[in-house]
Structure 1
Amino acid sequence: MKYVIGVDLGTSAVKTVLVDPQGKVAFEHSESYPLSRPQPNWSEQNPEDWVKGTLVSLRRLIEVSGIAPSQVDGLSFSGQMHGLVLVDKEGQVLRPAILWNDTRTTAQCRRIEKTLGAKLIEVARNRALEGFTLPKILWVQENEPEVLSQAYQFLLPKDYVRLRLTGDYAMDYSDAAGTLLLDVGSKTWSAEIAEAFELPLSLCPRLVESFEQTGTLLPDIAEASGLLSSTKVFAGGADNACGALGAGVLGEGRTMCSIGTSGVVLSYESNKDLNLEGKVHFFNHGEKDAYYIMGVTLAAGHSLTWFKETFAADKSFDEFLSGVSSIPAGSGGLLFTPYIVGERTPHPDANIRGSFIGMDSGHTLTHFTRSVLEGITFSLRESIEIVRDSGKEITEIIAIGGGAKNEAWLQMQADIFNASIVRLESEQGPAMGAAMLAAYGSGWFTSLSACAEAFIRPADVYKPDPKQAAIYDGLFNLYQEVYGQTRELNNKLAAYRQ
């Protein structure tokens, strides 16, 4: 039997999955690596740790599965977005990678806005946010000019790993869209943006499709990984683009809700000229000449984990969530906003912080727990409403990530979003999307849609309860008022944070 491998390069670990032609995951393995925070607001990693972890994970995958290396047709990647890797002409890394969750670049974001004005949204289709790549390049330009002067090209995390595996410099469109240097509509690097900041276009790597072959494994890499040097390597995509593929978001109206550490609402878009004025992200899809709209809640699952670890550390997650179904919608008049690390959509605000509104002495731990789940879901609905306001009808949403593992939460999503929620039979997220790119690139299927039909199967559907949906409509209106009512208070409190 033939197989493909999906490599998902995350922030804390790399995951590899071995997938057969029916889309079944035969084996999987993950390897963790460290995260460095050398200064407040900094978040960095050693790119070589990604390479070592990937090679170990690939070798373990082959060893544990017992398959012959010749059975692997190809592999592809999903990768954490936005992270800056600067390399010299020999491909050597010049400094630690600056990651997506590094927030040192506020001043550079303001510089981008002042310099480009409306041109930024017109060309790059996204606001200047600290997580994106161009602000990081400008930070290096201003603070480490000697490093930037040595740079041959900049790469994103998965592209650096692929360079080390194949010797090929390239970046796919879905990841390039998160740099603020891509003309998203025309799928070319923007000379206008680069020149505005005195950056040579040669700093930008060759652009390729996510399913395009970018080489084969170098001999020493093949030996280290346990694979053959003839193994085909495909470009891969941004983690959210690959998550969309892995959830079958491959057509108009198809929408996904992913709840992990952060929360993502993502909807397929075919109109390259759509301009939502930066209210949500607008990125290139892993499918050719397709796009996606994306809203982000920075602390979705993270809010739930924080609350449990702070107030119910002695309970398992199952125990912790066991009673939420017994609490009525609205948690007894208790509202939670998940702004505990700031927010992204629809409020790009680094100073805003979370809140519980409406606490009284009758509330129990279970009331608070349900309120946290509701607040996270209300936040994600704000992104859904922006997509709906663009003219899309959203009646069905595919749920992936931690938010797809609890039945009470799945039903809550159906009621709050007022849409059917679909849970998948085998949910591997971005890793499955990467495997699909390898399968399509290897010629297993005539299209990514055909691949999705073979690989992705729904398990359960949760339909909205009209009465609950009506209650949540009213509560959602109240939830939307909290940001405006607490913004100035949080700006003042920021001076007291240590």
Structure 2
Amino acid sequence: MLLLGIDVGTSSVKVSVIDAQSGNIIANKQYPDSESEIISPKYGWAEQSADMWWEHVQKAILLCNQQQKYNPQDIGAIGIAYQMHGLVLVDEQQNSLRNSIIWCDSRAVEIGDKAFETIGADYCLSHLLNSPGNFTASKLAWVKQNEPEVYAKIAHIMLPGDYIAMKFTQQITTSISALSEGIFWDFENQCISEEIMTYFGFEHSLIPEIKPVFSDHGYLTHAVAQKLGLKVGIPVTYKAGDQPNNALSLNVTQPGEVAATAGTSGVIYGVTNHLLYDQQSRVNTFAHVNHTLQNQSLGVLLCINGTGSMNRWTKNIFGTAIDYKSMNQSAQKIAPGSDGLLVLPFGNGAERMLNNKMLSANFNGIDLNLHTQAHLFRAVQEGIAFAFRYGFDILKENGMQPNIIRAGESNLFLSDVFTQSFVNITGVAVELYESDGSYGAAIGAGIGAKIYSSANDAFINKKPLKLIEPDGQSLEQPYHSWKELLAQQLSTL
């Protein structure tokens, strides 16, 4: 039996087909090759078309099929991972009502902050484990306040992955994990938060049917199956946000285990079985993929908006002659510390670890006689690593003390400069695996279809590709200067 995994990212859609018995990837593909458009009508806003995601999902699957490495009719279950915190609105006919307001959009920050103040910090942190911030509930409140004609047509709200599952199946479901990332879930009372629904004036009918992450979320329709060459009626058996899914793809499911990713955004994600929250809501706690009402499993998530997006911006500035591989090779020629050049890798919306402040990207200390293109490449990657360290210290304040971090060998973790800088500045070794979001989604589909009894069963033969440990090259002094620069910038806001 084959499993199809889909990862609906901000930059592109990736799909993988894996053999359920061996766990090996048979084929994978992404679409498009270049980064997908982010629509920004105003400063701090970020939207994408949900219909564009669906178009890209279909094209990526068809491209995978065209490799002719498998029979599409042998696919028995589908899993979906998706960019977290996005808001998708559909009417009674399941038509999208507006562009999705995506994860890095900052328009609802003030709405969320006011809700936090009015509902009360004690309730929000002890019940929701987070401030409403600029998460999905606050984005829906923005639509209600500013686009009442759209709000009046809403039949259901959903996360991006719920929308893609709906397009496959014409059925609409959600999960505790999805509701928690939207700040709709009350962990103390184990139900949808009445305080959030009442405060914002939301109707309960907007929330789809709640099902476990690993369960049947609908069955492939005849029209979609025919178009994609798949069997009619195969189930969608897994849906999860990209960061819980990334953790699953690395077999990070037990308390104390930690995963990291550095794609468009950067994340450190640790698992706990305690209702843990940060008093300032700089890191966030959501239901993990294996969370149930009987056995709680929570993911504590540190997010940095401007990681891969900062690296991509740098590449684009230098034009088509530069690719990521050559950037990494150039950066390796520069000594750690980048000869005093510092980079704050922000500028991609409100940063939760900076108390939802919107900070611009910043290059500091440029010496026109010394610094070269290669210095810029290295300083950007070191600046991203420093941002991880800043957030990592917040996680440690909240009880996370990992002795190893697992990551997929992809995106920024393909760079030796970034990976070694990350390890040196955090002081924690990194295990790299052959893994990505679409692979995790396929494994999730296998668990949901009961082919695997658990993540441990699915990953029993999975071994790390390499282990990167601190090499003794200290970055503490440049990091100290970086923190001073960050403090200066924050003091002006």
Flag whether TM exceeds 0.5 (same fold). yes
Cross-structure match for 1:251: 254
Q: Which position in structure 2 is the counterpart of 1:15?
A: 14
Closer, same or farther: CA 285–485 of 1 in aligned 2, 3 Å: same
| Matching residue's letter, 2:420 | Q
Contact map agreement 1:312 1:320 (CA 8 A) in 2: no
Report deviation, 1:141.
0.9
State the distance in 2 between where 1:282 and 1:30 align: 30
Task: Check the 8 A contact 2:104/2:305 in 1, yes or no.
Answer: no
- Give 1:409's aligned residue: 418
Q: Partner letter of residue 20 of structure 1?
A: D
| Aligned 1:314-333 pairs, distance under 5 A | 314-333=321-340
Counterpart in 2 of 1:158?
161
My pick for the range that moved more, 72-81 or 45-54, is: 45-54
Change (3 A) 1:343 1:313: farther
| Farther-moved stretch of structure 1 (111-120 vs 55-64) | 55-64
Cα deviation per residue 1:151-183 (whole Å; 9 max; x = unaligned)? 222111111121222222211222222212122
Residue 343 of structure 1 and its aligned partner are, at CA, apart by 5.2
CA contact (8 A) 1:217 1:232 kept: yes
Q: Which residue of 2 aligns with 1:420?
A: 429
2:442 paired residue number: 435
Query: Which of 337, 360, 367 is equivalent to 1:353?
Result: 360
CA distance in 1, matches of 2:427, 2:204: 46
* Deviation per residue, 1:236-263 (Å, 9 max, x gap): 1011111111122122322222111211
CA–CA distance in structure 2, aligned partners of residues 363 and 43 of structure 1: 33
Query: SS in structure 2 opposite 1:341?
Result: coil
Equivalent pairs, count: 481
- Between the aligned partners of 1:105 and 1:247, the Cα distance in structure 2 is 33
Alignment partner of 2:387: what SS?
helix
The TM-score normalised by the length of structure 2 is 0.90
Identity %: 25
Q: Does 1:464 align with 2:470?
A: yes
Is this contact kept in 1: 2:83–2:160, CA < 8 A? yes
Q: 1:222 Cα deviation (Å)?
A: 1.6
DSSP-derived class of the 1:141 partner: helix
User: 2:392 pairs with 357, 376, 384, which one?
Assistant: 384
Task: Point out where structure 2 has 5 or more consecutive residues left out of the alignment.
Answer: none
Shift of 1:190: 0.7
CA deviation digits over 1:427-467, x for unaligned, max 9? 2x22111111111122222112221334x3311111112x3
Question: How far, CA to CA, are the matches of 1:337 and 1:347 in structure 2?
Answer: 12
Structure 1 residues 298 and 200: alpha-carbon distance in aligned structure 2, compared to 1, 3 A threshold: same
CA–CA separation in structure 2 for the residues paired with 1:472 and 1:362: 20
Residue 216 of structure 2 is aligned with which of 213, 216, 236? 213
For the 8 Å contact 1:245–1:430, the answer to whether it is kept is no
5+ unaligned residues in a row in structure 1: which ranges? Answer: 492-498
Within-5 A mapping of 1:112-191: 112-118=115-121, 119-130=123-134, 132-184=135-187, 186-191=189-194
In the TM superposition, 1:31-430 aligns within 5 A as 31-32=31-32, 34-65=37-68, 67-118=70-121, 119-130=123-134, 132-184=135-187, 186-271=189-274, 273-277=275-279, 278-288=281-291, 289-311=296-318, 314-341=321-348, 344-360=351-367, 361-400=369-408, 401-424=410-433, 426-427=434-435, 429-430=436-437
Following superposition, the deviation at residue 264 of structure 1 comes to: 1.0
The CA distance in 2 between the partners of 1:337 and 1:98, in whole Å, is 25
Aligned letter for 1:108? I
Amino acid at match of 1:234: T
Q: Against the structure 1 CA distance between its residues 54 and 339, is the aligned structure 2 distance closer, same or farther, given a 3 Å change threshold?
A: closer
- Measured after TM superposition, the shift of residue 347 of structure 1 is 0.5
1:18 partner amino acid? V
In 2, are the aligned partners of 1:346 and 1:383 still within 8 Å (CA)? yes
Instruction: State the distance in 2 between where 1:141 and 1:319 align.
Output: 47
Q: Is the 8 A contact 1:76 1:236 kept in 2?
A: yes
Q: Deviation per CA, 1:394-453, whole angstroms, max 9, x where unpaired?
A: 2211233322112232222221111111111x22x2211111111112222211222133
Is the contact made by 1:125 and 1:282 (CA closer than 8 Å) also made in structure 2? yes
Task: Give the match's secondary structure for 1:411.
Answer: helix
Tell me the CA shift for residue 192 of structure 1. Answer: 1.6
Residue 419 of structure 2 aligns with an amino acid whose one-letter code is: L
Matched letter for residue 416 of structure 1: I
Per-residue deviation, 1:342:
5.0
* 1:307–1:29 distance in 2 versus 1, CA, 3 Å: closer
Which amino acid in the other structure matches residue 354 of structure 1?
A
CA distance in 1, matches of 2:152, 2:90: 11
Q: CA deviation at 1:348?
A: 3.2
Describe the SS at the equivalent of 2:351: coil
Give the Cα–Cα distance (whole angstroms) in 1 for the partners of residues 352 and 478 of structure 2: 19
